[in-house]
Amino acid sequence: MSFLIAEDAALKELLKQIYVVDEKNNAREVGVWFATPDVESRQQSYPYLTIEFLSADRAKYRQQSGRWVDNDRQGTVAPVAGIVHAYSMPIPWDLTYQITSYARHPRHDRQIITHLLSNDFIGQHGFLSVQNELGTQTSFRHMVLEGFAKRDTIEDGRRLFRNVFTVTVTSETVAGQGTGVPEVDSVLINNDPQNIPDEFTIL
């Protein structure tokens, strides 16, 4: 999956693993949707979470210069025997997301907060596992909790427990498609015996 699409999918998959129980121990899965869905339909049923992409900012503090060489363009193409890809080092980005939780029951509200702050958005130590295009490799991105705010309100005469979490996910894009070049299978260094110092010998 490409930049942004992969992070969206990974974040939704992570948040789909939340369950809550009430005083009767009835368990239910917390629904997860994008805040402005396009192809997915949604039947609103509490409790649930929404994901909203806020911004992508160049992470200049992580920028490096140089060239990378690998055989599958960081897992975005199928490897070809004898061919490697050379391309400029990736451009780093910081992706900011807003996750909002909605619940009618205070017990559900507290369970969602506890799960997110203890398991997913762990302050400065959270991470997001993102699969590559081929589904053969997984990269682990930093996911930092930037903010948490309580936004409870009254809707249609009933309590609505609402929480807003803001997180930043580290990511990167590859500049261009890179160049496919033959893989180096041997390196010959100084084959001329006349130029070998006395303290070295030919093996």
Confirm whether pTM is higher than 0.95: no
Give the pLDDT confidence of 104-148 residue by residue, as tens digits.
999 999 999 999 999 999 988 999 999 887 778 888 999 999 999
Average pLDDT score over residue span 58-63:
93
Residue 67 has a pLDDT of 84
- In which order are the strands placed within the sheet that holds 83-88? 67-70, 83-88, 179-182
Residue 73 has pLDDT above 90, yes or no: no
What distance, in Å, lies between the first and last C-alpha atoms of the chain?
49
Q: What percent of the chain has pLDDT over 90?
A: 52
Question: Is the C-alpha dihedral spanning 9, 13, 11, 103 positive or negative?
Answer: positive
Cβ atoms of 110 and 64 within 8 Å: the answer is: no
Domains of the chain listed by start with CATH number: 5-181 (3.30.2000.40)
Average pLDDT score over residue span 169-196:
70
Query: pLDDT band at residue 76, thresholds of 50, 70 and 90?
Result: confident
